[in-house]
């Protein structure tokens, strides 16, 4: 039996809000206490960082919710609430990265062409690695939607407008979206950590590859790369990833629309007769199961006041994680966290005042960068205070909310079939690796 969810906005339930934040606080603290777990694979290693524990624990609570005692029982509404809070909480991570970028602008300027051209990897990496795999597995036109981008919200909009979401291309991009939502962060974290351990790429090349245009996936990749670096290099990794992610966020949608999608269509027309000619076609299921049960989901909407509350509570989670994972006392973290929240608040207010013509993440990034730009008054003091907030401590709360929100997408994930999941993961790997390869040619002098 499949479930079709009809979304409708509704007022927030304070009980659900309290439950989600208490669960998130407990999960994030427990995950930081577990600490990293390195796994040696011979030729390299992967590291299960606290953010991965947090994501897996949250997912487990959602999947086995009906067997949990009352306080741990996560409703469908609660899972959607966690997803909404995640979107708001990611602003804090964006602000932290912007603060790192501001102080590193001279070094970023030296990267020049590396930062600019790595975006080409984002445009073609999905197609180069994902399209051949899709055709070899017998997937047809769904391959276009699944491999033209990493399939975040802009990708859904582009395919929906161009082909319609009921088309094969629409089912392909939806499959990529669901796969990325559920396992994208875990996959990119393990992949980035493994590739880093091979010592083939410069850490800054990997950092630029991590800026894929998805907040949660960028956070996961940055965490895995930075965990294997010195503290100073870890800061540079975060700064370069933030700059690359800002490029992907601002220009990526237009480049995807005018370059990546046409390229994917032409690649399909060229490769399909060669790789898919003698293969039996398989399609991504469109969810048309024999029996469909309709369920109304009241999608929460965070007003301005609730967004501020969410930033304050997530800030508390960051401070606690900074204490448990990195030994920084709460009072030492407080000024830095307050400055980060201040940058987010200012960016959000400008976003609303300018009638939402430019994404909020852009305003937040610009303000945060200005706060630590060397020519800005008190930039050194701001950098020192915010530098006490380890950015890895900020990633764990983000992926905690991601984990708590994931179980709602499991039914759709099960209908995708293993082939399209493999293709989606290959497309995500292609974005990261292609951008890193291009960036590698430009970082040798940094």
The separation between CA 74 and the C-alpha centre of its own chain, rounded to angstroms, equals: 23
Whether 410 maps to a domain, the answer reads yes
**Is-contact 372 383, C-beta < 8 A?**
yes
Q: Are 443 and 118 in contact (CB under 8 A)?
A: no
Distance (Å, whole) CA 436 – CA 244: 11
pLDDT of residue 12: 62
Residue 342 placed within a domain: no
- Which residues face 295 on adjacent strands? 5
Q: What is the pLDDT, as a whole number, of residue 185?
A: 83
Walk along the chain (446 residues) and give the pLDDT tens digit of each residue. 334 444 445 556 677 888 999 999 999 999 999 888 877 776 666 777 888 889 889 989 988 888 888 788 888 888 888 888 888 888 898 888 788 878 777 766 766 666 777 778 878 888 999 999 989 988 888 889 889 888 776 777 678 768 876 688 888 887 887 788 778 888 999 999 999 999 999 999 999 888 887 777 888 898 899 988 998 898 889 888 888 887 776 667 667 878 888 999 999 999 988 887 666 666 665 443 333 344 555 567 788 888 999 999 999 999 999 999 999 999 999 999 999 999 999 999 999 999 887 778 788 888 998 999 888 999 999 999 999 998 788 888 988 988 898 888 777 677 767 888 899 899 999 989 998 998 888 776 55
CA distances from residue 116 to 99, 111, 359 in whole angstroms, order as listed:
20, 9, 20
In the chain, the number of structural domains is 1
Chain position carrying tokens 């109304």? 296
Task: Write down the pLDDT at residue 402.
Answer: 82
- Examine residue 241 and state whether it is found in any structural domain, yes or no: yes
322 assigned to some structural domain: no
**Contacts of the segment 258-263: beta carbons below 8 A, 24+ positions apart:** 259/123, 260/123, 260/124, 260/126, 260/127, 260/148, 260/149, 261/144, 261/148, 261/149, 261/158, 261/159, 261/162, 263/123, 263/124, 263/127, 263/148
What residue numbers bound the domain in which 147 lies?
2-87+109-300+399-440
Residues shown for the chain: 446
Please tell me the pTM assigned to this model. Answer: 0.72
- pLDDT the model gives residue 380: 92
Q: Which helix (H) or strand (E) segment is 64 a member of?
A: none
* pLDDT reported for residue 7: 47
Q: Is 46 exposed, middle or buried (0-12, 13-18, 19+ CB in 10 A)?
A: buried
The answer as to whether 165 is a domain residue is yes
Is 75 a domain residue?
Answer: yes
- Say what the pLDDT of residue 346 is: 95
2 three-class SS: strand
Please, are residues 248 and 213 in contact by the beta-carbon 8 Å criterion?
Answer: yes
| Continuous H helices in 295-329 | 304-326
- CB-CB contact of 186 with 46 (8 Å): no
In a domain, 73, yes or no: yes
pLDDT at position 283 is 60
Structure token pair of residue 160 = 């929906």
Task: Flag whether 387 is in a domain.
Answer: no
């Amino acid at each position: 039996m499949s479930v079709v969810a009809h979304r409708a906005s509704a007022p927030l339930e304070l009980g659900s809000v309290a439950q989600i934040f208490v669960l998130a606080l407990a999960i994030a603290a427990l995950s930081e206490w577990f600490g990293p777990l390195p796994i040696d694979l011979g030729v390299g290693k992967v590291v299960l960082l606290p953010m991965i524990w947090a994501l897996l624990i949250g997912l487990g609570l959602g999947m086995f919710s009906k067997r949990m005692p009352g306080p741990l029982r996560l409703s469908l509404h609660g899972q959607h609430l966690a997803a909404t809070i995640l979107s708001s909480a990611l602003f804090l991570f964006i602000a932290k990265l912007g603060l790192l970028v501001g102080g590193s602008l001279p070094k970023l300027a030296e990267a020049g062409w590396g930062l600019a051209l790595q975006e080409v990897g984002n445009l073609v990496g999905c197609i180069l690695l994902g399209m051949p795999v899709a055709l070899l597995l017998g997937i047809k036109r769904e391959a276009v939607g699944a491999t033209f981008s990493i399939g975040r919200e802009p990708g859904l909009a582009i395919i929906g407008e161009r082909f319609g979401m009921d088309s094969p291309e629409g089912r392909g991009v939806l499959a990529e979206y669901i796969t990325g939502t559920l396992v994208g962060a875990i996959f990119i974290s393990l992949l980035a950590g493994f590739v880093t351990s091979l010592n083939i790429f410069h850490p800054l090349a990997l950092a630029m590859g991590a800026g894929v245009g998805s907040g949660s996936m960028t956070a996961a990749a940055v965490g895995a790369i930075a965990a294997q670096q010195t503290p100073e290099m870890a800061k540079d990794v975060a700064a370069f990833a933030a700059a690359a992610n800002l490029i992907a966020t601002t220009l990526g949608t237009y480049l995807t629309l005018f370059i990546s999608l046409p390229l994917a269509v032409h690649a399909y027309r060229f490769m399909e007769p060669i790789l898919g000619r003698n293969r039996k076609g398989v399609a991504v299921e469109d969810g048309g199961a024999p029996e469909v049960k309709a369920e109304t989901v009241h999608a929460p909407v965070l007003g301005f006041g609730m967004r501020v509350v969410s930033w304050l509570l997530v800030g508390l989670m960051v401070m606690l994680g900074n204490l448990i994972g990195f030994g920084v006392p709460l009072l030492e973290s407080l000024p830095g966290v307050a400055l980060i929240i201040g940058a987010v608040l200012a960016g959000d207010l400008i976003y609303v005042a300018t009638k939402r013509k430019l994404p909020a993440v852009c305003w937040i990034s610009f303000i945060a960068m200005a706060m630590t730009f060397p020519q800005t008054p008190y930039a050194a003091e701001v950098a020192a205070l915010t530098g006490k907030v380890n950015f890895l401590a900020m990633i764990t709360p983000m992926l905690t909310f991601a984990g708590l929100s994931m179980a709602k997408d499991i039914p759709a994930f099960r209908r995708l079939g293993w082939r399209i999941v493999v293709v989606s993961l290959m497309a995500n790997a292609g974005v990261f690796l292609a951008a890193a390869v291009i960036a590698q040619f430009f970082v040798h002098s940094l």
